[in-house]
Amino acid sequence: MRIVVAGATGAVGRLLLPKLIREGHEVIGMTHHESKKAAIENAGAKALLSDVFDRESLRTALEESRPDVVIHQLTSLSSRNFSENTRIRIEGTQNLVAAAVAIGVKRIIAQSISWAYEPGEGAATEDVPLHVSAAEPRKTTIDGILALEKAVTELPEHVILRYGMFYGPGTWYAPNGFIAEQIRQRQVPATEGITSFLHVEDAAEAALLALRWPSGPVNIVDDEPAKGVDWLPVFAQSLGAPGPQTVSSGNDWERGASNRKAREEYGWKPLYPTWRKGFADSLRLPS
């Protein structure tokens, strides 16, 4: 298949390109930085220079690429630019979808999140409604996710990957990442809030497998949703950082997500079924 990966240079995208190429796909990686084209080409893909906010250039770029599938892994979360990230989810996704629809692309695979569900007991499954009544600042996140997930349904086939919290190379949880640095400084308190994690390698693998998955949302998370009081001390220890401060709080929507659908219906098997092993592996400092 001819596949355009929007977000080809990101934490997920750069792991995804070689997987797609190994499977024999013709891959076109998109970047909006001339300087990052070489990394895409070195991975064996064709580089496409386009800014998702430039509707016309994006449309021309997709027309020239003529993909069968578009994979949407665009964020501005690496740089922690949250307002731009919301704009990417809303306006960027609309632009990408409009360009894809215009040339008759059949399938889109898009990155969403698994912590947008409304509060409730237990790990959320895909049929739990999204948290539409959330107050700010969470409301902005939810609005972005709602817009993204709605926009992609304009394509006949649309797989929405509701990813867990990424860790691994190139993420906030990498040894040199934003959260790891905060944990070293004891700035992240351990709470009762529950997080579902996901190694980025598993995020990339799921995007590859989603080429054959049915339309709709699917949680892509590890097997072990965990309270902050459980995972944070393990993370800190693996990092060689001091233990966290503990506070007995947590948001009611921090409930984790269930991967039952991905595992049992789609046959997805994470390489890192639990953050316990994943943290240790990804935080092991090079000797």
Residue nearest to ligand NAP (CB): 10
97 DSSP assignment? H
Task: Tell me: does residue 32 bind ligand NAP (CB under 6 A).
Answer: yes
What are the DSSP E strand ranges found in the chain?
A: 2-6, 26-31, 46-49, 69-72, 107-113, 157-163, 165-167, 194-195, 197-199, 216-220, 226-227
**Which of residues 52 and 211 has its CB atom nearest to ligand NAP in the complex?**
52
Burial group, residue 181, by CB count within 10 angstroms (0-12, 13-18, 19+): middle
Task: Tell me: does residue 113 bind ligand NAP (CB under 6 A).
Answer: yes
Task: Tell me: does residue 272 bind ligand NAP (CB under 6 A).
Answer: no
Task: Tell me: does residue 115 bind ligand NAP (CB under 6 A).
Answer: no
Task: Tell me: does residue 95 bind ligand NAP (CB under 6 A).
Answer: no
Residue 253: phi and psi, rounded to 5, are -85, -5
User: Between residue 148 and residue 207, which ones bind ligand NAP under the rule CB under 6 A?
Assistant: 163, 165-166, 170-172
Task: Tell me: does residue 82 bind ligand NAP (CB under 6 A).
Answer: no
3 state SS of 189: coil
Task: Tell me: does residue 86 bind ligand NAP (CB under 6 A).
Answer: no
**Alpha carbons 107 and 160: distance in angstroms, whole number:** 11
**Which of residues 185 and 248 has its CB atom nearest to ligand NAP in the complex?**
185
Report how far apart, in Å, the C-alpha atoms of 256 and of each of 58, 219, 236 are.
Answer: 36, 10, 21
Beta bridge mates, 46: 28
Q: Which tokens belong to 226?
A: 């965990």
Task: Tell me: does residue 140 bind ligand NAP (CB under 6 A).
Answer: no
**Which of residues 10 and 193 has its CB atom nearest to ligand NAP in the complex?**
10
Q: Which stretch binds ligand NAP (CB under 6 A): 27-35, 98-106, 185-193, 276-284?
A: 27-35
In the complex, what is the shortest distance from the CB of residue 232 to ligand NAP, in angstroms, rounded to a whole number? 16
List 3, 8, 209, 221, residue binding ligand NAP (CB under 6 A) = 8
**Which of residues 95 and 261 has its CB atom nearest to ligand NAP in the complex?**
95
Task: Tell me: does residue 52 bind ligand NAP (CB under 6 A).
Answer: yes
Burial group, residue 285, by CB count within 10 angstroms (0-12, 13-18, 19+): exposed
List 53, 146, 181, 230, residue binding ligand NAP (CB under 6 A) = 53
Q: Which stretch binds ligand NAP (CB under 6 A): 7-15, 142-150, 223-231, 235-243?
A: 7-15
Task: Tell me: does residue 73 bind ligand NAP (CB under 6 A).
Answer: yes
The answer to whether 48 and 4 have CB atoms below 8 angstroms apart is yes
Task: Tell me: does residue 91 bind ligand NAP (CB under 6 A).
Answer: no
The answer to whether 32 and 49 have CB atoms below 8 angstroms apart is yes
The answer to whether 115 and 254 have CB atoms below 8 angstroms apart is yes
Q: Which residues bind ligand NAP (CB under 6 A)?
A: 7-13, 30-33, 36, 51-53, 73-78, 88, 111, 113, 163, 165-166, 170-172
